């Protein structure tokens, strides 16, 4: 019989929603960037967030107002768990646009599931994490929850709550420029129209379909060159100071494609060479700086595994 731990540490990666044309459908997990949760069972049937590190005091500690707490409460109720959980959360995702709220929710439900017998699969955990993110972001979508949960590049359907892994593109290098100002998802969605012209819809559908095929086939060049968003990017670009110049700098430096990460304000680019990725990052940083914006540059790869249990540095398993 498998033993049930009393305490676990879980990592959930950051992610890029949309990946350009795949609005609310496609997502991509980022390696080495994400949230870490230390979770333990407690006798009282509740959720306690003991501490949050790395958020500069911005996130609520109340469980019913934090995505980690909301997701955990929903799952505990579903499982009819006899006990509750206590969390310590370490935020490792800079700025906005990289699925921070989704990563917290994903890490929380994965940890709760481990603590109460691993009764659900990752697929079954998705709706609980998505429910939490929708409570704070103003819409139900899985383009961040999906890749954070599954890893790699994912397709999702918000109506059926389904997530399908498409591929991992092991050669891909992802460059992210995160400016020192936020763009909230709720505000970014307000600039989008209720109706989209047919030609724009077809253009984005074509690019997103091609991107999905390229991810599944491992064609990095075609994947990168499919990052063309005719719908959301032109409307959201004015929310990001210097975006046009930053994108131009990335492409001039050799990026295969570049667009807004999720709702912004982060901007991402894709290439197949690490040294070129560093060069692209410097170009993006310089372009932001020309507009008086300080930027954090992250050069990384696509996370392969998604949310997972980790072993603490002491070598002791949680």
The whole-number pLDDT of residue 313 equals 62
Find, among 119, 169, 124, the residue nearest to 145 by Cα: 124
The whole-number pLDDT of residue 78 equals 97
CA dihedral 305, 285, 248, 193 (to 10 degrees): 70
For residues 113 and 106, what is the distance between their CA atoms, to the nearest angstrom? 11
Per-residue pLDDT of the chain (318 residues; tens, 9 = 90+): 466 778 999 999 999 999 999 999 999 999 999 999 999 999 999 999 999 999 888 899 999 999 999 999 999 999 999 999 999 999 999 989 999 999 999 999 999 999 999 999 999 999 999 999 888 776 778 999 999 999 999 999 988 889 999 999 999 999 999 999 999 887 888 899 999 999 999 999 999 999 999 999 999 999 999 999 999 999 999 999 999 999 999 999 999 999 999 999 999 999 999 999 999 999 999 999 999 999 999 999 999 999 999 986 654 544
Residues sharing a CB contact under 8 Å with residue 299, sequence separation 6 or more, in sequence order = 173, 174, 175, 176, 274, 277, 278, 281
Tokens 């979770």 -> residue: 39
Q: Please calculate the CA angle 251-154-243 and round it to the nearest 5 degrees.
A: 30
Report domain extents, the chain: 7-167+303-309, 173-300
CATH class of 7-167+303-309: alpha beta
For residues 126 and 134, what is the distance between their CA atoms, to the nearest angstrom? 12
Q: Is the pTM of this model over 0.85?
A: yes
Tokens of 83: 């006990």
Per-residue pLDDT tens for 239-282? 999 999 999 999 999 999 999 999 999 999 999 999 999 999 99
The whole-number pLDDT of residue 106 equals 98
Q: Please calculate the CA angle 148-27-31 and round it to the nearest 5 degrees.
A: 50
Residue 237 DSSP code: G
State whether CATH 1.10.3720.10 applies to domain 173-300.
no
The whole-number pLDDT of residue 1 equals 46
The whole-number pLDDT of residue 207 equals 97
């Amino acid at each position: 019989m498998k033993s049930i731990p009393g305490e676990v540490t879980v990592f959930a990666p950051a992610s890029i929603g949309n990946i350009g044309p795949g609005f609310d459908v496609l997502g991509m997990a980022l390696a080495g960037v994400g949230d870490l949760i230390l979770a333990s069972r407690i006798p009282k049937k509740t959720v306690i967030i003991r501490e949050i590190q790395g958020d500069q005091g911005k996130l609520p500690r109340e469980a019913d107002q934090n995505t980690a707490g909301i997701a955990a409460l929903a799952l505990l109720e579903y499982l009819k768990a006899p006990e509750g959980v206590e969390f310590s959360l370490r935020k490792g995702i800079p700025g906005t646009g990289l699925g921070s709220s989704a990563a917290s929710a994903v890490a929380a439900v994965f940890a709760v599931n481990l603590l109460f017998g691993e009764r659900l699969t990752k697929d079954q955990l998705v709706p609980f994490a998505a429910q939490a993110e929708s409570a704070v972001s103003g819409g139900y979508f899985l383009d961040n929850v999906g890749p954070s949960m599954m890893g790699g590049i994912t397709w999702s359907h918000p109506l059926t709550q389904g997530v399908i892994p498409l591929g991992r593109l092991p050669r891909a290098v992802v460059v992210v420029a995160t400016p020192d100002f936020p763009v909230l998802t709720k505000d970014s969605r307000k600039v989008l129209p209720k109706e989209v012209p047919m030609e724009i819809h077809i253009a984005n559908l074509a690019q997103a379909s091609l991107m999905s095929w390229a991810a599944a086939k491992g064609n990095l060049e075609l994947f990168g060159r499919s990052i063309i968003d005719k719908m959301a990017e032109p409307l959201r670009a004015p929310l990001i100071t210097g975006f046009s110049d930053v994108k131009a700098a990335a492409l001039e430096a050799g990026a295969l494609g570049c667009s807004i990460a999720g709702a912004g304000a982060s901007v991402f680019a894709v290439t197949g060479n690490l040294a070129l990725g560093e060069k692209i990052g410097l170009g993006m940083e310089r372009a932001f700086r020309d507009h008086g914006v300080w930027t954090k540059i992250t050069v990384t790869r696509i996370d392969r595994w998604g949310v997972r249990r980790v072993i603490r540095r002491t070598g002791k398993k949680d």
